[in-house]
Structure 1
Amino acid sequence: MSEEEQRLPGGNVGGAVRVGDTVRRSTGPWTPDVHALLRHLAGRLPGVPRVLGYDEAGREVLSYLPGRVPDIDTETLTPGQLTALVRWTRAFHTAVAGFPLAGAWRYFPMPDATLIGHNDIAPYNACFDGDELVGVFDWDLAGPSNPLMELAFVAWNGVPLWRDDGPETAAARLRLIADAYRGYAPERILRAVPDRIRIMLDGIPVAAAAGDRGMANLLAQGEPERSRRSLADLERRLPAIERSLAQSRRARRQLSGK
């Protein structure tokens, strides 16, 4: 007797079902390259699903990652969770170094690509045990990117910058991201966010018109217009966040005696 399928929450682009200890998802031209990436990461990076093949319906079969997925509509990542997610991102970028950029990737062209990124690192694609990150899933959008663009998207969703929680809160969480990753100042991450989000918003209708059903689903849900409004609001708030970052930088220097 086959195990019962359980629809997993979320999945605005495509969706997935759980069958026992596996996850089943629809495939696309990008799937073989995504599977090659996941096999490359196996043993190099924790919290990555294992590729188990395909089922009788032609869906990919991946290992199920246990843990709790935060509800982005009602929750904000704790500082511990955000730190864990960013440290995992740094470890991922180390593990993926040298993996070929060429492939039938699904995601939109990214400028100055230096590595294969996940391209959708966000609370809705991560599962936690308390503050411990135990998995990052939904790799269909993996493709050429660079570390700054990945961090910009983490900031958009993890601060989060798509809503207004006040400039001081935004600045503090941007500093947390920068401190956890190391190598990029919080101001630089902040300034990269608008360009990163525009790449996504401009790409959704193009991909939908080319036949990507997942991107068509996003159009039906009100994208990219919904996120364009959030981005316009962020751009109005950028000066206040930058001032808060500058003030905190001065305060840190005073405390350190520099």
Structure 2
Amino acid sequence: MEALSGGRESAIYRDGEVVYRPLQPWSATIHLILAHLEQANVKESPKFLGLNQGQEMLSFVAGNTYNYPLIGAIATDEALISAGKLLRKIHDSSVSFIEQLDVNAHPWMLAPREPFEVICHGDFTPYNVALLENTVVGVFDFDTAHPAPRIWDLAYSVYCWSPFKTDSNDKLGTIADQVARAKLFCDSYGATETQRAQLADAMVLRLQALVTFMRGEAERGNESFAENIEQGHLQAYLNDIVYITENKQKIKSSLGN
């Protein structure tokens, strides 16, 4: 078996076209989501294949994968446009699932947030997608999926893809470059004027929620999140909140159609 990167607490392995991942308290919920996406013909998401000795089996999402810094195919306009379109496809496909879902009857890694408009991926980022040349053709790691308004997912995705980041390894271009990429993502997603106007504030709220979540997990003894905080990831999010806040008007004025 081949070990894959991206595991939070335990190793993830691939054997041919099957990926083995450790079961989590929320795994059964995610399996329902993946089954719905499969029925909705969202071929870009992994398929739930079954369980095996405390592990879930998912189909392997083929393609080239990337991480920060964004260099090469992942940094192209084509990747950005296809990512925005795929996020919209996932959201639209989940509406019928949300309409028949008892949100409180299922466990979630990330807390559901009203209004429950769609199933948010929760971590739709450059490191959780697969590319064929310059086009995003797959997305994986749905552990963070949860019900929330569209803008909750859109905000975090735009933050990560623009990216509105200050860390020397993560940032890309100037603020002008970043708002141009943000607009391209919003255009590709089909964001409304209201969503565009709210986006900067939504990014700050989303990052604040992430910081609170990380601190809570570390306090509960989750070593993975404690290590992330020790490595400076939480401080990077705090720095990015300041950066987005300082550039709020520039972001807002640049995102209009």
- The one of 63, 69, 73 equivalent to 2:69 is 73
Does 2:148 align with 1:142? no
Measured in 1, the distance between the counterparts of 2:9 and 2:188 equals 29
For residues 42-191 of structure 1, what are the structure 2 equivalents within 5 Å? 42-44=38-40, 45-56=42-53, 58-75=54-71, 77-99=75-97, 100=101, 101-102=103-104, 103-163=106-166, 165-185=173-193, 186-191=196-201
CA 1:122–1:137 in 2, change beyond 3 Å: closer, same or farther? same
Partner of 1:222: 232
Q: Which amino acid aligns with 1:180?
A: S
Residue 209 of structure 1: how far off its partner (Å)? 3.2
- The one of 218, 223, 246 equivalent to 1:236 is 246
Residue 223 of structure 1: how far off its partner (Å)? 3.6
Q: Match of 1:224, SS? A: helix
- Note if contact 1:108-1:199 (Cα within 8 Å) is conserved in structure 2: no
- Note if contact 1:126-1:133 (Cα within 8 Å) is conserved in structure 2: yes
User: What TM-score, normalized by structure 2, do the two folds share?
Assistant: 0.84
Unaligned runs of 5+ residues in structure 2 are none
Residue 15 of structure 1: how far off its partner (Å)? 4.9
CA 1:14–1:80 in 2, change beyond 3 Å: closer, same or farther? farther
CA 1:98–1:184 in 2, change beyond 3 Å: closer, same or farther? same
Deviations 1:64-88 (A, max 9, x none): 1110112322425311111111111
Q: Match of 1:180, SS? A: helix
> RMSD across aligned C-alpha pairs, in angstroms?
2.3
Residue 54 of structure 1: how far off its partner (Å)? 1.8
Partner of 1:255: none
Partner of 1:256: none
Measured in 2, the distance between the counterparts of 1:118 and 1:91 equals 11
- Note if contact 2:161-2:182 (Cα within 8 Å) is conserved in structure 1: no
- Note if contact 1:13-1:218 (Cα within 8 Å) is conserved in structure 2: no
Aligned length: 242
Partner of 1:32: 28
Measured in 2, the distance between the counterparts of 1:223 and 1:13 equals 16
CA 1:14–1:227 in 2, change beyond 3 Å: closer, same or farther? farther
Residue 22 of structure 1: how far off its partner (Å)? 1.2
User: What TM-score, normalized by structure 1, do the two folds share?
Assistant: 0.84
Does 2:208 align with 1:198? yes
Which has the higher Rg, Structure 1 or Structure 2? 1
Bigger CA drift: 115-124 or 12-21? 12-21
Measured in 1, the distance between the counterparts of 2:43 and 2:227 equals 31
Does 2:44 align with 1:41? no
Measured in 1, the distance between the counterparts of 2:209 and 2:70 equals 27
- Note if contact 1:115-1:144 (Cα within 8 Å) is conserved in structure 2: yes
Unaligned runs of 5+ residues in structure 1 are 253-258
Partner of 2:17: 21
Deviations 1:74-114 (A, max 9, x none): 42531111111111111111111132133201113434332
